[in-house]
Chain A
Amino acid sequence: MLHACAAYAVDANVLEYSAELNLSEDDYIGEVPKVLTVSRLAQSKEDSPSAVTVIDRETIRASGIVDIPELFRLVPGFYVGKNAGYIYNSNHVVSYHGMASAYAGAMQVLINGRSVYSPLYGGVQWSELPITVDDIDRIEITRGPNAASYGANSFLGVISIITKDAKDSTGSSVRLTHGTGRNEAFYRNVGEFADVKYRVSASYREDDGLDGRNDFKRTNILNFQADKRIDASNEINLELGITNGDRADGEAARDFVLFVPRMRDISTDYELIRWRHNVSEDSDFSLQAYHSANRTDDDFTSVNLRANARRFTLERELRRGASLATAQTRAAVFAASLRDDQISIDNDIEMHRYDIEAQHTFVPATNWRVVWGGNIRLDTTYSPHWLGTGETDYFNLQRLFGHAEWRINDHFLVNAGSMLEHNDFTGTDVSPRASLNFKLTPNHALRFGVSSATRTPNYIEEKFNDAIRIPTINPATSYLFKQYADTGKLEPERIVSREIGYLGQVGNLNIDARIFDDDIHNIIKSQDVILTPTASIRPLRNASNFINSGDAQVHGFEAQVKYRLFKTTQIIANYAHVNINGDKARLPNGFTTSMPKNTFSALITHQFDGNWDASYAYYQTGSVEALGDGQPVALNRRHDVRVARKFNLNRVNAEFSVSVENLLDEDYHEFALYNTLGRRALVNLNLNF
Chain B
Amino acid sequence: MNSFSDKNRFLKVLAQLVLIFGLSAIKFAYAYTGVTILMASQTPANTEFVDNFRVDLANSKNNGLRVNVVVMQESDKFAVAENSELVIALGVKALEAASMLKHTTPVLGVFTPLPVFNQILAKSKRELGNFSAIVLDQPYWRQLALIKAVLPETKKVGVLLGSASSQYLEVLRDEADELGLTLMDENVSNEADLITKLKKLLDSTEAMLAIPDRSIYSRETAESILLTSYRHQKPMFGYSQSYVKAGALASVYSSTKQLAKQAAEIAIKSQAASNQLPSPQIPKYFSVAVNQQVAHSLNIAITDEDAIYKKMLVFETRETIENEEKKH
Interface residues of A (CB under 8 A from B): 1-13, 15, 17-18, 20-25, 27-36, 38, 40-47, 137-138, 165, 167-171, 229, 281, 363, 407, 410, 442
Q: Which 5 A-B pairs have the closest CB atoms?
A: A7-B10, A12-B118, A36-B247, A44-B299, A2-B324
- Contacts known (A21-B164, A24-B113, A44-B296); A7 close to B219, Cβ less than 8 A: no
Are the CB atoms of B297 and A42 closer together than 8 Å? yes
Interchain CA distance A46-B322 in the complex, whole Å: 44
Chain A residue with Cβ nearest B280: A5
* Residue contact A28 to B14, C-beta cutoff 8 Å: no
Is A4 within 8 A of B246, CB to CB?
A: no
- Output the least CB separation between B184 and chain A (Å): 13
Contact size range, B: 35 or more
B192 touches A171 (CB 8 A): yes
22 contacts between A and B (CB under 8 A): A1-B322, A3-B323, A4-B281, A4-B324, A5-B139, A5-B280, A5-B281, A17-B119, A21-B116, A22-B214, A23-B164, A23-B212, A29-B240, A32-B243, A33-B246, A34-B245, A34-B247, A36-B227, A40-B247, A167-B224, A169-B196, A170-B195
Q: Are A21 and B246 in contact (CB under 8 A)?
A: no
Q: With a CB–CB cut-off of 8 A, which chain A residues contact B327?
A: 4
- Note all chain B residues with C-beta closer than 8 A to A10: 10, 13-14, 17
- Residues of chain B contacted by A24 (CB below 8 angstroms): 91-93, 113, 116
Q: Bound state CA distance, A171 and B191, in angstroms?
A: 12
Q: Counting CB contacts under 8 A, is B101 at the interface?
A: no
Give B residues with C-beta under 8 Å from A: 8-11, 13-14, 17, 45, 91-93, 111-119, 121-122, 135-137, 139-141, 163-164, 167-168, 171, 175, 192, 195-196, 199, 212-215, 217-219, 222-224, 226-228, 230-231, 239-243, 245-247, 278-282, 284, 291, 293-294, 296-301, 303, 320, 322-325, 327
Complex-state Cα separation, A229 to B220, whole angstroms: 10
Query: Is there contact, CB below 8 Å, between B122 and A13?
Result: yes
Q: Are A410 and B115 in contact (CB under 8 A)?
A: no
User: How distant is A498 from chain B, measured CB to nearest CB, in Å?
Assistant: 24
Establish whether residues B121 and A12, one from each chain, have CB atoms under 8 Å apart when the complex forms.
yes
The answer to whether B212 touches A1 (Cβ under 8 A) is no
Report yes or no: B164 in contact with A18, Cβ–Cβ below 8 A: yes
A36 to B243, CA, bound (A): 10
* Residues B214 and A17 in contact, CB atoms below 8 Å apart: no
Cβ–Cβ contact B296 & A229, under 8 A: no
Cβ A32 vs Cβ B297 within 8 A: no
Please judge, given known A-B contacts A2-B278, A170-B195, whether A46 and B14 are in contact too, CB under 8 Å: no
Query: Chain A residues with Cβ under 8 A from B168's Cβ?
Result: 8
Beyond A23-B92, A442-B299, 7 extra complex contacts between A and B, CB < 8 Å: A2-B281, A23-B113, A23-B212, A25-B92, A28-B240, A38-B293, A41-B230
Known contacts A5-B281, A6-B282, A171-B192; A229/B116 CB under 8 A: no
Q: CB distance B114 to A13 under 8 Å?
A: no
- Nearest-CB residue, chain A, relative to B199: A169
Contact in complex: B214, A23 (CB < 8 Å): yes
Query: In the assembly, what is the distance between CA of A40 and CA of B299, in Å?
Result: 15
Q: How far apart sit A410 and B300, CA to CA, in the bound complex (Å)? A: 11
Q: Is the CB of A36 within 8 A of B246?
A: yes
Question: A27 with B217: in contact, given A12-B117, A21-B164 (CB under 8 Å)?
Answer: yes
Q: Are A32 and B121 in contact (CB under 8 A)?
A: no
User: Among A18, A30, A45, A47, which residue has its beta carbon within 8 angstroms of that of B219?
Assistant: A30
A32-B118 in contact (CB<8A): no
Q: Is the interface of B mostly helix, strand, loop or mixed?
A: helix
Assembly CA distance A22 to B320 (angstroms): 30
> A6 and B92: CB pair below 8 A?
no
Residues of A within 8 A of B217 (CB): 27
Q: Is the CB of B195 within 8 A of A169?
A: yes
* Minimum C-beta distance from B53 to chain A (A): 16
Partner of B192, one of A4, A11, A170, A410: A170
A21 touches B240 (CB 8 A): no
Residues of B within 8 A of A27 (CB): 113, 212, 214, 217-218, 240
Minimum distance in angstroms from A366 CB to a CB of chain B: 9
Option from A38, A363, A410 in Cβ contact (under 8 Å) with B303:
A410
Whether B111 and A12, one on each chain, are in contact in the complex, defined by CB atoms closer than 8 angstroms, is: no
B116 x A7 contact (CB < 8 A): no
In the docked arrangement, what's the CA distance between A188 and B91, Å?
A: 45
- A38 and B293 alpha carbons, distance in the complex (Å): 7
Q: How far is the CA of A650 from the CA of B327 in the complex (A)?
A: 51
Q: Tell me the bound Cα distance from A31 to B13 in angstroms.
A: 36
Q: How far is the CA of A217 from the CA of B246 in the complex (A)?
A: 46
Interchain nearest-CB distance for B32 vs A (Å): 19
A31/B195 in contact, CB under 8 A: no
Say yes or no: A36 contacts B279, CB within 8 Å: no
Contact assessment for B299 and A20 in the assembled complex, using a CB-CB cutoff below 8 Å: no
A443, chain B: closest CB distance, angstroms: 9
Q: How far is the CA of A38 from the CA of B219 in the complex (A)?
A: 19
Closest beta carbon of chain A to B88's beta carbon, Å: 14
**Chain A: which residue is nearest B219 at the CB level?**
A32
Question: Are A11's CB and B111's CB within 8 A?
Answer: no
Q: When chains A and B are docked, how far (Å) is the Cα of A285 from the Cα of B280? A: 46
Chain B residue with the shortest CB-CB distance to A16: B122
Are A44 and B303 also in contact (CB < 8 A) when A4-B14, A12-B119, A23-B116 are? Answer: no
Q: Say whether, besides A2-B324, A28-B136, A28-B212, A45 and B91 are in contact (CB < 8 Å).
A: no
Chain B residues, CB < 8 A from A6 = 10-11, 14, 139-141, 171, 175, 282
CA distance A484 to B327 in the complex (A): 94
Given contacts A25-B112, A33-B222, A165-B227, is CB(A4)–CB(B279) below 8 Å? Answer: yes
A42 contacts which chain B residues (CB < 8 A)? Answer: 297
Q: Which residues of B contact A31 (CB under 8 A)?
A: 242, 245
For residue A18, which residues in chain B have a CB less than 8 angstroms away from its CB? 163-164
B269 to chain A, nearest CB (A): 9
Closest B residue by C-beta to A366: B292
CB distance from A181 to the nearest CB of B (A): 34
Point out the residues of chain B lying under 8 angstroms from A23, CB to CB: 92, 113, 115-116, 164, 212-214
